[in-house]
Copies of this chain bind each other. A is one copy, B any other.
Amino acid sequence: MTVTIRDVARASGVHVSTVSRTFSAPHMVNAATRNRVLSVAEELGYRPNRAARALTTGRTHNLGLIVADIANPFFPPLIKAAHAAARQRDYHLFVADTDEEPAVEEELIQAFSKQVDGVVLCSPRSSNKALERLAERVPCVVINRRLRGAATVLMDVGHGAKLAVEHLAGLGHRRVALVSGPAGSWTSAEIRTAAEQVPDIELVVIGPNAPTERGGFAAAPRVRDSGATGVLAYNDLVAIGLIEGLGDLGLSVPEDISVVGIDDIVPGRLNRPKLTTVAMPTAAAGRLAVDLLIQEVSATTSLETRLVIRDSTAAPR
C-alpha cells in the first residue's frame, strides 16, 4: 500500500541503491537516470521513510525542544522561531512541556535521546549533575543557563536590568524597588547584581516572590511601604500583577509609581498602561539554538537585550 524505494526502483528499471542515491547523494548518479527516477518517484508519490533512514544513518532529522510550560507567554515565540529554523533545514520538532518538574524534564530528555539528533533545553530546572549526565547521551543546547559540556545560548538579562534601572534614574527616580523572583533563580541573581551597579540609585530588594501575576499582586503593599518611586519587576507577569495590586491600593502607574517589567511578552504589550520592559530576544534564541544543534557547534553565545519604553514609566512626582 505504501510506496517504497523498491517500487520506485522496479518502475524505473534501476537498482534500489540508485534510487537511494538520487535522494541522498544526487551527484553520484547520472543526470539522465536521476531525472527518470525523480519523475517516477513523483508519479508514484514516493517519500523516503525517515524511520528507515534513521536506522542506518543514525540521524533522525528530528529535534526536541523542552520547555517548562508551553502556556507561559514567554515560550511560544521561542517555540515558533525554533520551529521555523528547524523546518528551514528540513528538520521536524518535538515539543515537550515539563510542567516545571525536574523529574519530568529528565525523563523527557531520556525518552527523546534515541529519537532526535539533539534537544534544546529552555531554562531547565534539573540539577547540573543530572543535566550533564544526560547531555552525554544526546547533544544538547541550553537556553538561559550555563552548563558544562553543552552549547549555551544566554540572553543578557543583566544588561537589560541595568538599562532599566538607568532608565528610571534618568527619569529622576532615586529609590528603586526590585521585586525579585523565586529564591535560587539564576535570572533573579543576574538581575540583582546588575541593578546594584547603577550609581546614584538606592535599591531595595523585595522578595523572593512567585514569578507570576499573583506574586506581583501580593508584593504591592511592600512596594508601597518601601518608599520607592520606581520598580523593576522580575518579569512582565509580576509587573502586571503588581500594577493591579498598586491600583487596588490607590496608586496609579506611572503617575504615582513607575514600573518596568522584563521579557516583553504579549500581555504586557496589551496591558494598560502599556508596559515598559526589557525585551528578551526569545525568537533569536530559539532560532540560534536549533542552528547550533544542527551544525553541531559547541559555543556559548550571549544575546543582547534591549529596553522598550512604553507607558508604565514616567518621571516621579
Q: Name A's B-contacting residues (CB within 8 A).
A: 2, 47, 49-52, 54-55, 60, 62, 69-71, 73, 75-77, 79-80, 83-84, 87, 92-97, 99, 110-115, 213, 240, 244, 247, 266-267, 270-272
- Decide: B60 and A71 in contact? CB cutoff 8 A: no
A96 proximity list for chain B (CB < 8 A) = 83, 87, 92-93
Task: Beyond A51-B115, A271-B272, list 19 extra A-B contacts (CB 8 Å).
Answer: A47-B111, A49-B55, A50-B51, A50-B115, A51-B51, A51-B55, A52-B55, A62-B94, A70-B83, A73-B267, A75-B76, A76-B76, A79-B95, A80-B97, A87-B96, A92-B94, A213-B270, A240-B270, A244-B272
Copies of this chain held together in the complex: 2
With both beta carbons as reference points, the residue of chain B lying nearest to A116 in the complex is identified as B92
**Chain B: CB-nearest residue to A213:** B270
- Distance, CA A93 to CA B77, complexed state (A): 18
- Tell whether A93 pairs with B92 under 8 Å between CB atoms, given A69-B80, A70-B83, A71-B80: no
Contact B97 A94 (CB under 8 A): no
Q: Are B114 and A97 in contact (CB under 8 A)?
A: no
> Distance (Å) between the CB of A43 and the closest chain B CB?
16
Report B-chain residues with C-beta under 8 Å of the C-beta of A95: 79, 83, 93-95
Contacts of A213 in B (CB 8 A): 270
Which residues on B sit within 8 Å (CB–CB) of A94?
A: 62, 92-95
Q: Are B80 and A114 in contact (CB under 8 A)?
A: no
Chain B residues with CB under 8 Å of A112's CB are 92
A97 touches B83 (CB 8 A): yes
* Bound complex: CA A162 to CA B226 (Å): 48
Give, as a whole number of angstroms, the nearest-CB distance from A90 to chain B: 9
Residue of B nearest to A60 (CB): B51
A91 to chain B, nearest CB (A): 10
Give Cα A94 to B60, complex, Å.
Answer: 13
Tell me which residues across on chain B come within 8 A of A113, comparing CB atoms: 47
A-B pairs with lowest CB-CB distance, top 7:
A95-B95, A267-B267, A70-B80, A51-B51, A51-B54, A267-B270, A71-B76
Complex alpha-carbon distance, A244 and B273, angstroms: 10
A267 CB, min distance to chain B CBs, angstroms: 4
A114 to B110, CA, bound (A): 24
Chain B residues whose C-beta falls within 8 Å of the C-beta of A76 in the assembled complex: 70-71, 73, 75-76
